[in-house]
């Protein structure tokens, strides 16, 4: 057993089943990774004259950029609500 309680919630976790804690920092890291990878793929597809692929990758880049803006707004709101609390990558 991994130390989880019967409900599946790790010991000391702040969330509940009804109000789970958010993984904003992990989501931020994944959005940045996706933005960088798909920006490179967009550039490579454009250089290879693959218009459809470059447009599709560009749409993913724009989606990741919008997601980054939303994540940062939520992180700022969380910081204002809980000043001085340090949140790890996975919470």
Look at residue 84 in the predicted model and tell me its pLDDT.
78
Task: Tell me if 47 sits within 8 A of 41, measured CB to CB.
Answer: no
DSSP string for residues in 16-57: -SSSPPP-HHHHHHHHHHHHHHHHHHHHHHHHTT-HHHHHHH
Look at residue 15 in the predicted model and tell me its pLDDT.
60
pLDDT range class, residue 1, cuts 50, 70, 90: very low
Task: Tell me if 3 sits within 8 A of 11, measured CB to CB.
Answer: yes
Condensed to tens digits (0 to 9), the pLDDT of residues 49-90 reads 999 999 999 999 999 999 999 988 988 888 788 777 776 665
Condensed to tens digits (0 to 9), the pLDDT of residues 2-14 reads 554 555 555 665 6
pLDDT range class, residue 91, cuts 50, 70, 90: low
């Amino acid at each position: 057993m991994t130390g989880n309680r019967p409900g599946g919630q790790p010991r000391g976790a702040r969330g509940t089943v009804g109000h789970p804690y958010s993984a904003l920092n992990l989501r931020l890291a994944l959005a940045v990774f996706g933005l960088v990878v798909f920006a490179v793929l967009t550039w490579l597809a454009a250089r290879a004259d693959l218009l459809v692929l470059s447009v599709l990758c560009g749409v993913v880049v724009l989606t990741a950029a919008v997601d980054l803006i939303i994540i940062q707004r939520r992180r700022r709101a969380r910081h204002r609500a809980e000043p001085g609390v340090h949140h790890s990558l996975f919470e």
